[in-house]
Every structure is written in structure tokens, then in C-alpha cells.
Amino acid sequence: MKTVDMLNTAKRVIENAYAPYSKFRVAAVLYGEEGLFTGVNVENASYGLTVCAERVAVFKAISEGKRKFEKMLIYTPGQQSLPYPCGACRQVLAEFFPEDFTVIVANDREEEQFNLGELLPFNFRL
């Protein structure tokens, strides 16, 4: 799947994001040979209960028995700062995907691409 197609998918699901506190809406699109999974951030008044878009997409895939993915696009609308994954999301990605897994971060102005090893060089693995 091309990055532009992943971006268009993210733009379709971003309206489902629930971000009344931060106003920073995020969508994630996880793609691989086993399909396409999306997620959006869901905030909570108790910030510790908030869940990021990346984890929603990964948990949806894993809960359906899917494990083979190539890349993830993380998107925020407008020209806000790029939506780099937080430390918790980086560690969740490292749990399920190899260091060469591609992570693309994008807004309506720019995008950057990394591999997971660049984003989390000293991940915790058993």
C-alpha cells in the first residue's frame, strides 16, 4: 500500500478521534500482508486512562490474531507538529514488530519516515 493511500485512510478515520482535552487528534494506520487496521486516540479526564491511536491499531490487529505488518502511518490534521509516537507506543511497537518496521509520521504539511530501530534504539525485549 502506498503512503498516500494510508494517508487518505487516516484522514477518513481522524473524525473518530476523541481529544477534548489536548485537542491533538491522531489517527494510525497499520498495514501489512494480513490487512489494514486503524486506530485513533481516545482521551479521558484521567489522563492515565487515555490511549494513543498507535496502540489502538496494534491492539485491534493483535486481538484478531494478526501479526505480520510492514508499516504504520501516524497522522494529525492541519499543520500541528508531527505526531511522533510516545515512549509507550514505541515499546508496544517493539513488542510486536522488528527493528526494520517502517513508521511514517505526517500532518497536512509534511511527513517523515523512520524504522522502529531508529525511534527506539534500546528497546526492551525478552
| Residues labelled catalytic | 54
Grid cell, residue 89, equals: 507506543
Grid cell, residue 85, equals: 509516537
Q: In terms of DSSP bridges, do strands 27-32 and 71-75 run parallel, antiparallel, or are they unpaired?
A: antiparallel
- The sheet that has 111-115: what strands, in order across it? 35-40, 27-32, 71-75, 102-106, 111-115
Strands (E), the chain: 27-32, 35-40, 71-75, 102-106, 111-115
The answer to whether 83 and 19 are in contact (CB under 8 A) is no
